[in-house]
Amino acid sequence: MGQNNSLSNRILYQVKGKISIITLNQPDKLNALGGDDYTYLAKLMEKSNKDPSTVITLINSSGRYFSSGADYKFIKKYHELINDKKNDEKEIERQNDRFWFNDFIPRNSYLTDCFINHGKIIVACLNGPAIGLSAAMVALSDIIYSKNDDTFLLYPFTKIGLVTEGSTSYSLLLRLGLSRTNEALLLSKPIYNKDLVSCGFVNKCYNMDDYNKKDQVEVNKSTEKFNELILNELSDSVKFLNGDSIKDIKKLINSNIRLYYNSANSKEVIQGYKKWLTGVPQRQFINLANKNIKHKL
């Protein structure tokens, strides 16, 4: 991948025919996303929504993971800045409150809103696992494809001391059913590809082998092949369809669901903000960054 680490290189945007394509492009860090990346992803969703030439917003990724969720280095960096030795206890408390109020609430609710209220067909291509807030955006997509059985979704909010994000308190219920949702959200258990396919969360698994999973170049190549295959199939599917009908029908399918999604979004960000004020999530992210804790997969 390129050396240029600008936002527009970390998340790529292109238009091919009737499809806007958003590509997560940081395979070396398993496509973990920092605060600015999530905001940029939301902006790209808006850009695609406004483009009159496309009817599908396709989100794909690179390497072996779709996305490992929030970038723990981003959270660690801000935690250390706020907890600078020069700040007394009151100042730390004030800065902590200001940061999470100004940073967390608007970003998470804006990103989630951009997915909930998106007018085009959102297609997510799972080249591998998705975790946390990124996995929440997958659950808000309209059509979901997976590459092979290496794929899983993990929502480790109870492990990190957070609450549900990205309207997962409703989206998982809708897509997985109550029993599986309880396991996934209350016990932070991964949901593996076979279950995702069997309950209809994933529309289709392409069963593409990674020839040699240790060889990063081979994994990157097979992800590119997976992305290309889906792009070609979707281009064929929408070639002769009426774009306005697609958007109007999506609006009808989603009109009731959106009420619940919007309600979940606004409640989740307020409760999430209160969790950040306890300092517990920050400590858990630092533990993840220092590799002191691991998720059970």
165 belongs to the catalytic site: yes
**Nearer Cβ to ligand CO8, position 65 or 261?**
65
The C-alpha angle with vertex 273 and arms to 275 and 184, in degrees rounded to 5, equals: 60
Examine residue 40 and tell whether it contacts ligand CO8 (CB under 6 A). no
Examine residue 128 and tell whether it contacts ligand CO8 (CB under 6 A). no
Examine residue 196 and tell whether it contacts ligand CO8 (CB under 6 A). no
Examine residue 184 and tell whether it contacts ligand CO8 (CB under 6 A). no
Kindly give, in sequence order, each residue whose CB lies less than 8 Å from that of residue 23, ignoring residues fewer than 6 positions away.
11, 12, 13, 14, 59, 60, 61, 62, 227
**From the candidates 46, 165, 224, 233, which is the catalytic residue?**
165
Residues 69-94 as b/e (b if ≥16 CB within 10 A, e otherwise) read bbbbebbbebbeebeeeeeeeeeeee
Q: Residue ranges of the alpha helices (H) in 153-215?
A: 157-160, 168-176, 178-186, 193-198
CB of 77 to ligand CO8, least distance (A): 11
Examine residue 73 and tell whether it contacts ligand CO8 (CB under 6 A). yes
**DSSP strand E in the chain: where?**
11-16, 19-24, 56-60, 121-126, 130-131, 143-146, 152-154, 191-192, 204-205
Crossing angle for the helix pair 72-82 and 89-116, to the nearest 10 degrees: 150
Examine residue 185 and tell whether it contacts ligand CO8 (CB under 6 A). no
Element (H, E) at 74: helix 72-82
Examine residue 126 and tell whether it contacts ligand CO8 (CB under 6 A). no
Examine residue 276 and tell whether it contacts ligand CO8 (CB under 6 A). no
Q: How many residues bind ligand CO8 (CB under 6 A)?
A: 20
Residue number, nearest CB to ligand CO8:
132
CB of 104 to ligand CO8, least distance (A): 6
Per CB under 6 A, the list member of 7, 13, 17, 29 interacting with ligand CO8 is: 29
**Nearer Cβ to ligand CO8, position 73 or 250?**
73
Examine residue 70 and tell whether it contacts ligand CO8 (CB under 6 A). yes
Examine residue 66 and tell whether it contacts ligand CO8 (CB under 6 A). no
Half-sphere exposure of 146 toward its Cβ, with a 13 Å CA cutoff?
Answer: 28
**Residue list 142-181, contact with ligand CO8 (CB under 6 A):** 156, 160, 165
- Report the DSSP pairing between strands 143-146 and 204-205: parallel
**Which residues are the active-site residues?**
165
Which residues make up the interface to ligand CO8 (CB under 6 A)?
A: 29-30, 32, 35, 38, 68-73, 104, 131-133, 156, 160, 165, 288, 295
